[in-house]
A = this chain, B = another copy of it.
Amino acid sequence: MTYSVDIKPNEVAVYALGGLGEIGKNTYGIEYQDEIIVVDAGIKFPEDELLGIDYVIPDYTYLVDNIDRVKALVITHGHEDHIGAIAYFLQAVNVPVYAGPLAMALIKNKLEEKQMLNRVELHEITDGTVLEFDQLNVEFFRTTHSIPDVFGVAVHTPVGTIVETGDFKFDLTPTTKQPPNLWSMARLGEKGVLLMMSDSTNAERPEWTKSEAWVAKSVNRIFDKLEHGRIIFATFASNMNRVRMATDAAIAHGRKIAVFGRSMESAVTNGRALGYLNIPDNMLVEQSEIKHIPDDELLILSTGSQGEPMAALARIAEGTHKQIRLKPKDNVIFSSSPIPGNTASVNAVINKLEEGGANVIYGKVNNIHTSGHGGQEEQKLMLALMKPKYFMPVHGEYRMLKVHASLAHELDIPKDHTFILENGDVLALDGENARVAGHFPGDDTYIDGSGIGDIGSVVLHDRQKLSQDGLVVVTATIDLKKKEILSGPDILSRGFVYMRESGELINEGRRIIFGTMRRIMNNSNASEADIRQAVIDDLSRFLYKETARKPMILPMLIMI
């Protein structure tokens, strides 16, 4: 691939490989002369139209092309959109990794799974850690989010300091007992910040995000009231603070804990191993044991708070869960907000649970969820603390970046000092001025199973088509030389329901293709490709006329 990037020796360059115009695959580069520091290596979960794609990672081409200059991968925190691509990243660019304790533990798990652990250099950092490279120094400062060990990063360069806040809220009463380091941030701001990149997730919310302590109070109040019946507590497995809150409340109320859902099981295992969860062995019960525990002494911790159909909670609601059969006195707590797009499935699960007689506790009125990202007031506070000369909103869809930029204007950062960029855009700053100094490929790379980037847009297009009108396979064996059809044509369909049920349609289709094949074969120069295309064209036209559908047509012609 070719691209044009022109960074001058007196400029620091800043860019996103992922994270701009999207929530996900956060990967930012900061380079000055011979050194490049990469911040985070995230994945993005595919949107619905990316069928069969497990996840999406950035295109690392630019970093691979400059591999000798890449000095470190520094990690802000242990969420998938910040560390999920680490194995792929290190396969492309094997550099030392610096991360806080929880992120480091999760990274080690990932690398172990890929049997890469012994080939990678890992260093644990904490609040205040400074990494010294030749010309660049990297300083970590503690922030707050929905898991422990979350940091912002300041990269000190000869032309100024570049700050990447990472995901943050200002939780001044964090249940982690790891408050944000306001003093560090103020000190950075006072010394002077050239450019700040800051989390835009909640830029559209004109508020101060509530503390986890506030959720903890509600959860404890709810546990107090629920004297009878089991409690099923559903949240994101990645929200370690919330998992801690639920398990603490259970223990305080004498309820044993059973864990359901693969990601929740591994969150609890990790959290206990690392000391983020404080669950004594005797308070944890096997899934198979829950039937022996009295209802009012049991907490079931479950995935599925987003209504995911395969998750534990949806299966409980449907009555298809192997170990858990819903009881009329069950209490189900949704400690989460539906992600836009999931509202319908969440509501469906809630309805099913309530139809089953359960007492479902959800929604804002119960004060059982708060975001891990700061609202406008917190974004303004970060801007006020850092007072950057230039501002680049990151970690958000386009409209979030826009709103975040307009907040910065309200804090007197001029419009021409604010950059709303795309993945691959290179921003170059010499301390006085800032300019876009080129662009490199910032496209998505799709991960399907264990392959990297072997899925292109054609494949995705096919999967989309298949998902809509199904598939029609045409089989035949043809002797091209003798211009004879030895067997077939036969027609098989999948996902094209109408045809499967109509022998008539199949028979008529077969007749048409038979005619098509004969016609093309009689043409003296006909190739296999010609026959294939003609079969597709004719059958497609016929099926559309009869059914108004356009299934994918796949001729499987054996030529002998």
Query: Measuring CB to CB, which residues of chain A are less than 8 angstroms from any residue of chain B?
Result: 170, 172-173, 177, 179-180, 182-183, 185-187, 189-190, 206-208, 210, 213-214, 377, 380-381, 383-385, 410-412
In the assembled complex, which residues on chain B have CB atoms less than 8 Å from the CB atom of A190? 183, 187
**Nearest CB on B from A404, distance (A):** 14
- Indicate if the CB atoms of B384 and A213 lie closer than 8 Å: no
CA distance A339 to B219 in the complex (A): 34
* Residue numbers in B under 8 Å from A208 (CB-CB): 207-208, 377
In the bound complex, CA of A177 to CA of B411 (Å): 9
Give the distance in Å from the alpha carbon of A6 to the alpha carbon of B190 in the complex.
42
Inter-chain CA distance A182–B381, complex, in Å, is 9
Partner of A411, one of B173, B380, B383, B385: B173
Name the one of B173, B207, B411 contacting A172, with C-beta atoms under 8 angstroms.
B411
Q: How many copies does the complex hold?
A: 2
Of B172, B383, B384, which one neighbours A383 at CB under 8 angstroms? Answer: B172
Residue in B closest to A177 when the chains form the complex, CB atoms:
B412
CB-defined A-B contacts under 8 Å, sample of 29: A170-B381, A172-B377, A172-B380, A172-B381, A172-B384, A172-B411, A173-B410, A173-B411, A177-B412, A179-B411, A180-B384, A182-B186, A182-B189, A182-B381, A182-B384, A182-B385, A183-B186, A185-B186, A186-B186, A186-B187, A186-B385, A206-B210, A206-B214, A207-B207, A207-B208, A208-B208, A208-B377, A213-B410, A381-B381
CB-nearest residue of chain B relative to A179?
Answer: B384
**Most chain B CB within a 10 A radius of its CB, from A185, A190, A208:** A208
- Residues in B whose Cβ lies below 8 Å from that of A170: 381
Q: Which residues of B contact A179 (CB under 8 A)?
A: 384, 411
Residues of B within 8 A of A206 (CB): 210, 214
**Can you name the residue of chain B whose Cβ is closest to the Cβ of A191?**
B183
Nearest chain B residue, comparing its CB with the CB of A180: B384
Once bound together, how far apart are the Cα atoms of A186 and B186, in whole Å?
6
Q: Which residues of B contact A381 (CB under 8 A)?
A: 170, 172, 182, 381
Chain B's closest residue to A377 (CB) is: B208
Closest 10 CB pairs of A and B: A186-B186, A208-B208, A172-B380, A183-B190, A208-B377, A173-B410, A172-B384, A183-B186, A182-B385, A182-B384
Residue of B nearest to A208 (CB): B208
Complex Cα distance, B187 from A307, in Å, reads 47
The interface centre, meaning the residue of A170, A179, A187, A384 with most chain B CB atoms within 10 A of its CB, is: A384
Report the Cα distance A311→B182, complex, angstroms: 46
Complex Cα distance, B177 from A265, in Å, reads 52
Could you tell me the distance between the alpha carbons of A412 and B213 in the complex, rounded to whole angstroms?
12
Residues in B whose Cβ lies below 8 Å from that of A182 = 186, 189, 381, 384-385
In whole angstroms, what is the CA distance A206 to B173 when docked? Answer: 13
Q: How far is the CA of A185 from the CA of B190 in the complex (A)?
A: 12
Among candidates B189, B410, B411, residue contacting A183 with C-beta atoms closer than 8 Å: B189
- A172-B411, A186-B186 known; 18 new pairs, CB 8 Å cut-off, are A172-B377, A172-B380, A173-B410, A173-B411, A177-B412, A179-B384, A182-B186, A182-B381, A182-B384, A183-B186, A183-B189, A183-B190, A183-B385, A185-B186, A186-B385, A187-B190, A208-B208, A208-B377
